[in-house]
């Protein structure tokens, strides 16, 4: 079937009122292949699999970069595909031996939540939480610079945002920056080399000359290395963000609410 016929077929599906399948040749683009569904049968509550996990579901609260509860978050729980949750259990067992527990900020994110982010980003005048999460950026650059997008890996169900909780101090491990900080200070390679674990102190990418300490960089590496050991892959823009390498639904965007 050639490309023209594929697009005609997709159009027919939309007209008929069933879930659309959007085809294209570049499968590396998250926005390229979309199979929306509200089937939650392959998902589990993270705390059913990882009972030691601590939850701080930011998008159920008002303490997030939008400043309101995000659409689709109906309960303060975290959901993941069964495969991702099983791998996260292995991570939890690993870090517990090191004196830490996992703290989850976000996991599965319904498409409704992503749509809420998009609407918020389009409203340039709404800067309620700017001083907390993006003080160095004009809100107009959030789309062009990729901080907000119409599709998110979280919606495929095998991505998790998390940090470590230090059981000795009974506090979050100091990562040198907050979850959802928009800026190069959140990049895993900020002030160091995440491939070697070497601290370099290079803060040249920070627009305000911010920095993190060797200890803060190493704390980020403790989390990163544990996640990589148990089948997750990182991104190069957020130290807290990891996706299961062999995610079971790489082309599917789920729509059911978090509840």
Q: Please give the positions annotated as active site.
A: 238
**Location of structure tokens 């008929």:** 16
Query: Does an H or E element contain 172, and which?
Result: strand 171-172
CA distance 140 to 137: 8
Q: What share of the chain is helix, strand, coil (3-state, %, to 5)?
A: 30, 20, 55
In sequence order, which residues have a C-beta less than 8 Å from that of residue 233 and are 6 or more positions away? 242, 243, 244, 245
Strands 100-106, 159-166: pairing is: antiparallel
Q: How is residue 177 annotated by DSSP?
A: S
DSSP 4-66: HHHHHHHHHHHHHTS---B--S-TTSTTT-BEEE---TTEEEHHHH-TT-EE--TTTSS-SSS
Nearest to 58 by CA among 45, 44, 79, 73: 73
> Packing angle between helix 214-229 and helix 82-97, nearest 10 degrees?
130
| Helix residue spans in 59-187 (DSSP H) | 82-97, 111-122, 130-133
Burial of 48 (0-12, 13-18, 19+ CB in 10 A): exposed
């Amino acid at each position: 079937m050639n490309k023209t016929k594929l697009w005609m077929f997709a159009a027919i599906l939309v007209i008929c009122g069933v879930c659309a399948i959007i085809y294209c040749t570049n499968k590396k683009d998250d926005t390229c292949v979309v199979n929306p569904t509200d089937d939650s049968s392959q998902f589990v509550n993270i705390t059913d699999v990882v009972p030691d996990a601590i939850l701080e579901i930011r998008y159920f609260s008002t303490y997030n970069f939008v400043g309101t509860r995000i659409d689709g978050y109906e309960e303060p729980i975290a959901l993941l595909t069964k495969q991702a949750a099983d791998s996260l259990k292995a991570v939890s067992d690993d870090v517990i031996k090191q004196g830490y527990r996992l703290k989850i900020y976000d996991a599965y994110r319904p498409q409704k939540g992503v749509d809420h982010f998009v609407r918020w980003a389009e409203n340039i005048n709404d800067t309620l939480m700017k001083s907390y999460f993006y003080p160095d950026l004009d809100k107009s650059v959030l789309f062009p610079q990729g901080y907000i997008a119409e599709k998110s890996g979280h919606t495929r169900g095998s991505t998790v945002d998390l940090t470590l909780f230090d059981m000795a101090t009974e506090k979050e491990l100091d990562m040198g920056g907050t979850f959802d900080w928009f800026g190069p200070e959140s990049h895993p390679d900020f002030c160091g080399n995440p491939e070697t674990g070497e601290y370099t102190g290079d803060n040249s990418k920070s627009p305000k000359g911010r920095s993190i300490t060797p200890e803060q960089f190493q704390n980020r590496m403790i989390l990163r290395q544990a996640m990589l050991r148990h089948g997750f892959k990182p991104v190069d823009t957020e130290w807290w963000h990891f996706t299961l390498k062999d995610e079971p639904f790489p082309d599917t965007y789920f729509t059911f609410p978090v509840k």
